[in-house]
A and B are shown apart, each in its own frame.
Chain A
Amino acid sequence: MKILRVRAVAKKELIQIWRDPLSLAMAFLMPVMLLFIFGYAITLDVNNLKTVVCDLDKSSRSRELVDALGASGYFTVVGNIHEQKEIDSYLDSGRAFVALTIPQGFLEHLKTGKETSLQFIVDGSDSNTATIAFGYISAITDMYSQRIRGGRVTPLMDLRVRVWYNPELKSRNFIIPGLIAVIMAVITALLTSLTIAREWERGTMEQLISTPVKVPELILGKLIPYFFIGLADVIFSVLLAVFLFEVPLRGNPLLLMLLSGIFLFGGLSLGILISIAAKSQLVASQISMIATFLPAFLLSGFMFSIANMPKPLQIFTHVIPARYFVTMLKGIFLKGSTLKILLFETLLLSFFGLFVFAVANKKFRKRVV
């Protein structure tokens, strides 16, 4: 292995990226843009649920209840109706997600200490939001009934739940670090998936393989510029996460960069391997999208907890490198995890990178056909 040759390839590759606006945009703009778009789009928090109120009681108490609902921030009253049958049109058309009916005699019943009921209708077609809305409703009505009861009954158990790492339970805090991992998984493979295939397509590979350049020199030379681009992307993403999305970064930023570097090496090598196997830019980019995006999005634990998956799928997730990177980023961002805690993930990612790099070297033939 001659460093001079690696340097020649790396320099050439860098010039080519620099001269190609499309490559530049893909290298620098795409990750930041994806983070921006997905960071805002993907949220599991439920706010401002559109609520229609059918207050048949029209008493001070019923108005108080409606106010309490609105004041929580989770519900926004979008309409007041006087007949229950109007609820249908609100829910059907999607103008409201929740409908609350306060029966006549609500105030009366409360005064006399009789049991009374409230009707909530929730649009279950979005089951996730419905479940969360249901939780909020229970909490608010419980609190409300406690208040009017004046705390006369002490509960048997006093629950004191404390949430660690993300005390406000902001979904953004766990989505953004995972999202960075998913985006980097896709970008790394995509970036390098074009490089070898492009040379075959343009015919430049024929000249290149007629020279004494060695395969590892060629592959390493092609990886180096993208490695630094990848690191720059990670830095941009982390800055966006911390300053725009206000995700706390509790761990060591240098550890984060080190582990990102290990992940990048594997991801970029995977792209090269795909590029070697496909020999066409179109096929290579499609394969790398499918091979990285879907597993990283669905099976990395980014959105869907691996512990809740069926056992065979859980085992399968071990071969998805993004899985370890998601764990690393979530850990470093939210828990301030150290290298010692992330050692298992680090070792596996290093192994993955070296393995893919070795396969890529083996697979590349300095011959046509």
Chain B
Amino acid sequence: MIRSSTAVKVRGLTKKFNDFTAVDNIDLNIKKGEIFGFIGPNGAGKTTTIKMLCGLLLPTAGEGTVGGWDIMKDSEEIKKNIGYMSQKFSLYDDLTVEENIRFFSGIYGVANSRKKERLEWVLQMAELQDRRRAVTKTLPGGFKQRLALGCAILHEPPMIFLDEPTSGVDPLSRRNFWNLINEMSKAGITIFVTTHYMDEADYCNRLALIYRGRIIAEGTPNELKQKYMTRYVLEVETDHVVNAMEVLNKSGMDAAIFGSLLHVTADSMEKAVPLIRGVLEDAGIPAHRIERIVPSLEDVFVNLIEVS
């Protein structure tokens, strides 16, 4: 059990809240030391899943293990072996940086001989050496998030579960954060991370896409791009993306907005390009540029959602 190379293995995991099925019969297999990305829009069931895996929420149905411990029976054992970082910042706002770290050290039962070392490690990792006496609520978002991560892994757990760790954090802090996660993965720690930022999916070793409580695709980022994106993706530049999308979708094509551009998926490049030009010109919205692009995971995801 301990020697197994699997960190998380669950079958048929389901959570119902009255009539609403938040998580619907999902299977997960996560190898030790991998960064597993759990991707999906808000409300897809990511948080519910992570809470069930961490022993914070009892599944309605399903079976499996986290770190070798039964998810239905051994939730307190699981809690000893994981670090969990919730979506909402959940350290004590009115405690200082150091007080928060000391508190969680105590709670996780970090040995007295290691306390000082772990404290300094978190301070350094979160770059909070100069702010150790600052009250936590005065910290900028990026620091808070790294402090929360530090507190969740004070006891050096073999697995960490991060629920939308980068939401509401500026892009530079997000990048730093992913670097940290990468380092931990290299140190052999298994990382389960949820996000709704598609661009973060590429940082993961493996991904599962969850939508309306169901896993609709799984694999490495490259596998997903190749396997699920057999159609072409055309990038369209125009002045009125919203109107253009409506017009194209009305004429039976799959168009979606990506920033200031449109992505249109099509089966045949030769047929699609003149068709798009024609439809847009008729509507009085000329296309400045139509180009084939390599699909991003976001395209894959949008495409998969449309299919399901």
Q: List residues of chain B with CB within 8 A of the CB of A367.
A: 55-58, 75
Does the CB pair B95–A203 fall under 8 Å?
A: no
Query: Among A2, A207, A212, A366, which residue has its beta carbon within 8 angstroms of that of B90?
Result: A207
Does the CB pair B51–A366 fall under 8 Å?
A: no
B239 at the interface (CB under 8 A from A): no
Q: List residues of chain A with CB within 8 A of the CB of B148.
A: 207
Of all chain A residues, the one with the shortest Cβ separation from B163 is A206
| Contacts A5-B107, A211-B79, A212-B108; A204 near B57 (Cβ below 8 A) | no
Q: List residues of chain A with CB within 8 A of the CB of B292.
A: none
With most chain A CB atoms within 10 A of its CB, the pick from B91, B94, B151 is B94
Interface string of A173-209 (1 = CB under 8 A from B): 0000000000000000000000000000011111111
A156 at the interface (CB under 8 A from B): no
B92 at the interface (CB under 8 A from A): yes
B interface residues (Cβ-Cβ under 8 A, vs A): 17, 51, 54-58, 75-76, 79-80, 82, 84-86, 88-95, 99, 102-109, 148, 151-152
| Contacts A208-B107, A212-B109; A12 near B56 (Cβ below 8 A) | no
Query: Among B75, B79, B89, B106, which residue has its beta carbon within 8 angstroms of that of A203?
Result: B89
Q: Would you list which residues of chain A between 131 and 171 have a CB under 8 Å from chain B? A: none
Does the CB pair B108–A211 fall under 8 Å?
A: yes
Does the CB pair B95–A16 fall under 8 Å?
A: yes
Question: Could you pull out 14 A-B pairs where Cβ atoms are within 8 angstroms?
Answer: A2-B109, A9-B107, A12-B99, A20-B94, A203-B86, A206-B88, A207-B85, A207-B86, A210-B84, A211-B107, A212-B107, A367-B56, A367-B58, A368-B57
Among all A-B residue pairs, the 10 with the closest Cβ atoms: A8-B106, A210-B84, A207-B90, A212-B80, A203-B90, A203-B88, A12-B103, A206-B86, A211-B107, A212-B79
Q: List residues of chain B with CB within 8 A of the CB of A205.
A: 90
| Contacts A202-B93, A367-B58; A207 near B84 (Cβ below 8 A) | yes
Q: Would you list which residues of chain A between 1 and 47 have a CB under 8 Å from chain B? A: 2, 4-5, 7-9, 11-12, 15-16, 19-20
Contact residues on A (Cβ < 8 Å of other chain), bracket = 20 to 34
Does the CB pair B76–A212 fall under 8 Å?
A: yes
| Contacts A366-B75, A367-B58; A7 near B106 (Cβ below 8 A) | yes
**Shortest beta-carbon distance from A205 to chain B in Å:** 8
Q: List residues of chain B with CB within 8 A of the CB of A11.
A: 103, 106
Does the CB pair A4–B93 fall under 8 Å?
A: no
A71 at the interface (CB under 8 A from B): no
Does the CB pair B76–A366 fall under 8 Å?
A: yes
A257 at the interface (CB under 8 A from B): no
Q: Interface residues of B: mostly helix, strand, loop or mixed?
A: mixed
**With A12-B95, A207-B90, A367-B57 already in contact, 20 other A-B pairs whose C-beta atoms are closer than 8 Å:** A2-B109, A5-B106, A8-B107, A11-B106, A12-B92, A15-B94, A203-B88, A203-B90, A205-B90, A206-B88, A207-B148, A211-B79, A211-B107, A214-B76, A366-B79, A367-B75, A368-B51, A368-B57, A369-B17, A369-B57
A158 and B74 alpha carbons, distance in the complex (Å): 81
Query: Among A5, A19, A208, A211, which residue has its beta carbon within 8 angstroms of that of B94?
Result: A19
Does the CB pair A206–B90 fall under 8 Å?
A: yes
A39 and B84 alpha carbons, distance in the complex (Å): 51
A211 and B91 alpha carbons, distance in the complex (Å): 13
**Shortest beta-carbon distance from B300 to chain A in Å:** 32
**Shortest beta-carbon distance from A2 to chain B in Å:** 6
**Shortest beta-carbon distance from A273 to chain B in Å:** 22
Query: Among A15, A213, A368, which residue has its beta carbon within 8 angstroms of that of B95?
Result: A15
Q: List residues of chain A with CB within 8 A of the CB of B55.
A: 210, 366-367
**Shortest beta-carbon distance from B109 to chain A in Å:** 6
A203 and B17 alpha carbons, distance in the complex (Å): 20
Of all chain B residues, the one with the shortest Cβ separation from A10 is B106
With most chain B CB atoms within 10 A of its CB, the pick from A207, A366, A367, A368 is A207
Q: List residues of chain A with CB within 8 A of the CB of B104.
A: 211
**Shortest beta-carbon distance from A13 to chain B in Å:** 10
Q: List residues of chain A with CB within 8 A of the CB of B105.
A: 8
Of all chain A residues, the one with the shortest Cβ separation from B15 is A369
Of all chain B residues, the one with the shortest Cβ separation from A18 is B94
Does the CB pair A204–B92 fall under 8 Å?
A: yes
A7 and B199 alpha carbons, distance in the complex (Å): 43
A4 and B82 alpha carbons, distance in the complex (Å): 20
**Shortest beta-carbon distance from A201 to chain B in Å:** 11
Of all chain B residues, the one with the shortest Cβ separation from A213 is B107
Q: List residues of chain B with CB within 8 A of the CB of A15.
A: 94-95, 99
Q: List residues of chain B with CB within 8 A of the CB of A204.
A: 90-92
**Shortest beta-carbon distance from A3 to chain B in Å:** 10
A208 and B108 alpha carbons, distance in the complex (Å): 10
**Shortest beta-carbon distance from B177 to chain A in Å:** 18
A112 and B152 alpha carbons, distance in the complex (Å): 100
A367 and B59 alpha carbons, distance in the complex (Å): 11
Does the CB pair B56–A209 fall under 8 Å?
A: yes
Q: List residues of chain A with CB within 8 A of the CB of B54.
A: 210
Interface string of A354-369 (1 = CB under 8 A from B): 0000000000001111
Q: List residues of chain B with CB within 8 A of the CB of A366.
A: 55-56, 75-76, 79
**Shortest beta-carbon distance from A32 to chain B in Å:** 25
With most chain A CB atoms within 10 A of its CB, the pick from B76, B80, B84, B106 is B106
| Contacts A8-B103, A16-B94, A212-B80; A206 near B109 (Cβ below 8 A) | no
